[in-house]
Structure 1
Amino acid sequence: MSRTVRAPVEADHARVLAVLDSWWGGFAGADGTRQRAALLPRLYFQHFTDTSRIVEDDGALVAFLIGFLSPARPDEAYVHFVGVDPARQGQGLGRDLYEWFFALARGRGRTVVRAITSAGNAGSHAFHTRMGFVAQPGPRQFEGRPVQPDYDGPGLDRVAFVRHLEA
């Protein structure tokens, strides 16, 4: 098997959108489908390619990370969206992508990485916790996870994470 890790190109936008439903197992139904697609507009595949990665095995998409360095908060970086083919989960792909991003952020002077996940996504919450992220306190809880109500708009509750990078 030949693995390629590279910066995304604009043509990857459609490839990533095409796997979202199957990789998320239809999480949150049709509403979840719309939310996931809306979170990944083409602009990420045009303007944030140097801080994002696509992983392919023999040309097939198996993982991706879309991230950026905050222009408004010069000490922060943000992991916007990550996906790993469920058939490849548990093989370290997600961890490798995050570690790559942490190193990139650290190398560009960033000391904080932020990320969010849906309040109902227990697997994502567990993964981020294993990666050293801390969920920020929120005014509500969902299944024991602190929630930021309406974080991404009305009814779009999120768990907000922060990880401080070691020097």
Structure 2
Amino acid sequence: MSEIEFRDMRIRSPHADDQARVLRVLDHWWGEFEGSAGSVQRALLLPRLFFQHFTTSSFIAERDATMTGFLIGFLSQSTPEESYIHFVGVAPEEQGSGLGRFLYERFFEYSRAHGRSVVRAITSAGNSGSYAFHTRMGFTAEPGPAEFEGRPVQPDYDGPGLDRVSFVRRI
């Protein structure tokens, strides 16, 4: 992807060195969400391989060399009509600016250009802000065998005790 602009931000593809930059902002951007266990889980979800092998389908947003957001996504290798948004973050001071929506729309555009018609994503069961964002973006929470605060949950989705809400959106 060539660089593009969103307001006064530069949007570009990530490179391997961006992994350390992303890991450094996670705790600040997520605050104390799910405590130290949540901090470890978030870091483990972003190994270097995402910044080496999925760069054309992922985005880094920056203003004056300061990271303001990122989206890590990829085209499914196994299900040719699907793509997957793996992890997204927007700096707290940028939330509500439209940056998250812009990154998702870029990913939808990329997915359509590669013949995809379905985008999937997940979020932690307790992340009500993420749940609200995804539903505003047109995602549907897939039914699950359990609920958390009225949200359908897939128990043990990411391993024992790591319940998730699973989303799908047709594009």
- TMscore range, shorter length: over 0.9
1:120 aligns with 2:140: no
Determine the structure 2 residue equivalent to 1:90. Answer: 96
The separation in 1 between residues aligned to 2:108 and 2:57, in whole angstroms, is 10
The separation in 2 between residues aligned to 1:133 and 1:26, in whole angstroms, is 26
Deviation per CA, 1:23-46: give whole Å up to 9, x if none.
Answer: 001200000001000000000000
1:106 aligns with 2:118: no
The separation in 2 between residues aligned to 1:76 and 1:2, in whole angstroms, is 31
Deviation per CA, 1:93-114: give whole Å up to 9, x if none.
Answer: 0000000000110111000000
The separation in 1 between residues aligned to 2:32 and 2:113, in whole angstroms, is 37
The separation in 2 between residues aligned to 1:54 and 1:34, in whole angstroms, is 22
The separation in 1 between residues aligned to 2:27 and 2:114, in whole angstroms, is 34
Measure how far apart 1:91 and its partner are: 0.3
Alignment equivalent of 1:41, drawn from 30, 42, 47: 47
Code of the residue aligned with 1:121 in structure 2: it is: N
Measure how far apart 1:2 and its partner are: 4.5
The separation in 2 between residues aligned to 1:107 and 1:45, in whole angstroms, is 21
Measure how far apart 1:17 and its partner are: 0.2
1:157 aligns with 2:163: yes
- Consecutive unaligned residues of structure 1, counting only runs of 5 or more, are none
Code of the residue aligned with 2:135 in structure 1: it is: T
Measure how far apart 1:161 and its partner are: 0.1
Q: Give the superposed CA RMSD.
A: 0.8
TM-score w.r.t. length of structure 2: 0.95
The separation in 1 between residues aligned to 2:18 and 2:8, in whole angstroms, is 18
What percent identity do the matched residue pairs reach?
Answer: 65
Aligned length: 165
TM-score w.r.t. length of structure 1: 0.97
1:139 aligns with 2:141: no
1:77 aligns with 2:83: yes
